[in-house]
Structure 1
Amino acid sequence: MSQAALETDVKQIVLSNSLFGPREVQALASAMAEDPSQYRALRDAVAELELREETPASNVRLGCCLYLLGRFESAISVLKRGDNGALAHFYLGKCYLATQRYDEALESFRAARIAGYNPDDCALGEVEALRGKGELKGAMEILDRLSGSAAESAEYYYQRGATLAALGAPAEEVAALYEKAIQIDPNHVGALFGLAWENDRHGNDDVALELYQRCVSRFPPHLGALINLGILYEDMEQYEKAVRCYQRVLEAFPGHERARLFLKDAQAAGQIVLEEDTTRRRDRLAQILATPVTDFELSVRSRNCLQKMGIMTLGDLCRCTEQDLLASKNFGETSLAEIKEMLASKGLRLGQLLPERPGAPAAEGVGEEEEALPPEEQALLAKPVSELNLSVRARKCLARLGINTVGELIRYSGDELLECKNFGVTSLNEVREKLRALGLKLRGD
């Protein structure tokens, strides 16, 4: 389907007075997954719908669309003013799950079932809410009661896998359930995230990256996938992509402190890389500019003219204009063409190092030469850092530094850890907190 047709369909679904139910919500989500630019079409249609006269039915339509955009708090407020029907209750439950308000999610899913929403979908929503509350036994009891088509759905396999993971089941068993869910629905957000996470924590970065990317292409945005994908992008030094991931989290949750801190770290790291690249380019340029013109095979006429003018290096040439050279006795168009060709072979040109106008900054390259803490118990110091339950970002940075034990960790200062790529203030505070719980500190703290 063409982009124009997709955009028309999105606006038609949102703004028409036709039937609006679970199928229409799924159609909107699928349209954006097929073409992410339709996010803008949905956003614009929602803005228009917000300006219309409010009715209980229009509030349900608007609330579901706000949910798809990831504006969960706004969606909750609008859906509460809806028609108190099954769709409103069900998507209230989904919004409460997204905002980790699990008791309210349970109430909403139960109300949705009473109001006539698909009971199996409601039951699976309850499973996720119970898991969020830590009531894993209750979640498994609901899963075990499901049968028929419900027990063969992608959502069922995902919820079972996620619940077993919370119960500490073997990673292979959990991954197999996620894979089964993805076989049924290749775009199932929860299963994609779960399988990505399993690969991420086992070091399969390439597989995790592809799964996270598929996950975040769906709507509403999966916040965990965006955070973890951002971290992977930082490991790959793709800081602009990482920044966008954290910004998408903050669009949904402006107060998300981890995303805000990660965003600052990624922006700072990106700036450092930019500065390092600039320095490397400047150094390479300085080396080229210092190359003697005698290193090149020039005609006797050209070589003599340059020598008379005191031009010894390529840098000297780049500070001259064509007029400067042609003003020299015996220096004609043939010699000029020869010099220009020589400079072009090194990516240079005449006048390159001259200011473009009075007071303007010179071109790039001008004037630019440019107590370990005492050990406590040996058992404590030998404790693997993997047992500190650090975030993915902090764990990968410590592995990059070759830090395997707590004893090795406390030999580092905070500043030394911060020198590691992608190890920001957020990770440093996390490490300090974990060490503080053991009665230890980093060197110099």
Structure 2
Amino acid sequence: MTARRTTFLALLGSALLTAAGAVITPAASAASLTEVTNFGDNPGGMRMHVYVPDTRPANPAVVVAMHGCGGNGPGFHSGSEFSSLADRYGYVVIYPSAQQEAGFGKCFDTWSEASKRRGGGSDPVSIVSMVNYVKQRYNTDPNRVFATGSSSGGMMTQHMLAVYPDVFKAGASFMGVPFNCFANAADYAPGRSQCTGGSMNRTPQQWGDAVRQVNPGFSGTRPKIQLWHGTADNLVPYSLLQESMEQWTNVFGLSQTPTSTDSPRAGWNRGKYSDKVETYSIQGAGHSLPSGGMAAVALDFFGITGTPDPDPDPDPDPEPTPGACSVRAVVNPWNNGLTESVTITNTGTTPVNGWSLTFTLPSGQTIGSGWNATFSPSSGQVTARNVGHNATISPSRSVEFGFQATHNGNTAAASAFALNGATCSTG
């Protein structure tokens, strides 16, 4: 943690910015976290901090980065990578601090009726005021405003994209929930929430209608969204990734079956739904996102970095070779969804260099996304193929991959496994 990024400047006089009608701590050292007061209409009573890099274009992009419950803007500034990446890519970061107590400490209001209406009040209005202030003060590009956040901030990310689709170009929600998941303040309370209690299950149409009803006359381009969740999250259930995907694909009129799936890093499974919605399932991760490297992937999705996919495989996969094998499949079901982890063990005496595993998916199951393999098609007889980092299986060694699927009540494991054309034993 550097002094340059964590030092809060003392108020050097009351510099009145007449153009914006706001008083701020001094902007003499732009690349420091600076608190802004009186930034505009603030019905949420929120605090605002801003990070402006020393080097930036004439019309920089804006990233609104929002903390989780119990946190604050300065904490998210020091605990995430968004400000260090701002030094590299020249965008302005807004760090709002929530002030509403919700049983988990101070959280962003995504539960009240006021927050769910455009211009209704509460935190969303305060956040838009911050965006407008920064636009006026730093001449930022109104067509490159983005939202991101963790947990409560991830929930508010989806919330802001629903309520103010004309303000934001895209969002990246880490461990969030769909818009209008919480019925009211009581539903947000620990241990009593229908939304985060593990049983939330609405149809894509119901989720999509919730967004459309906010701005029924909206005819502009909706902001695209990236959704991140850990498979072992026991606070905001992993199943809510599916619900969020269903909401936003429905908003865009897309199928809930991804147009492509891949694993850009070990343990990361990505599903793409056209170019509008992306899901990232982080294998084994709890309520701990974003972790290292994820902020850069979000910025790439926003179009800020122009960097390629993380850990691309520059070389074509080696030609598959046959080999003796055994397969173990473990299913973890819920409501109308499940995850299945598959372990392939090379029981032969020579390495398997490049692999494809065929299997039969039970009737009524459809793969939505996966990790450590690519899948085609998404139902029936499926072929899973290795990705760059797990192409080789040495003798007596194993590789693991998995997928998330929907089901109609049949939660049986896949069957009839064959590795590179050779039937595998199961156990």
Higher RCO (CA-CA < 8 Å; seq separation 6+): 2
| Structure in which a larger fraction of residues adopt helix | 1
Taking structure 1 as the reference length, the TM-score comes to 0.29
- Between Structure 1 and Structure 2, the one with more strand by share is 2
Higher radius of gyration, 1 or 2: 1
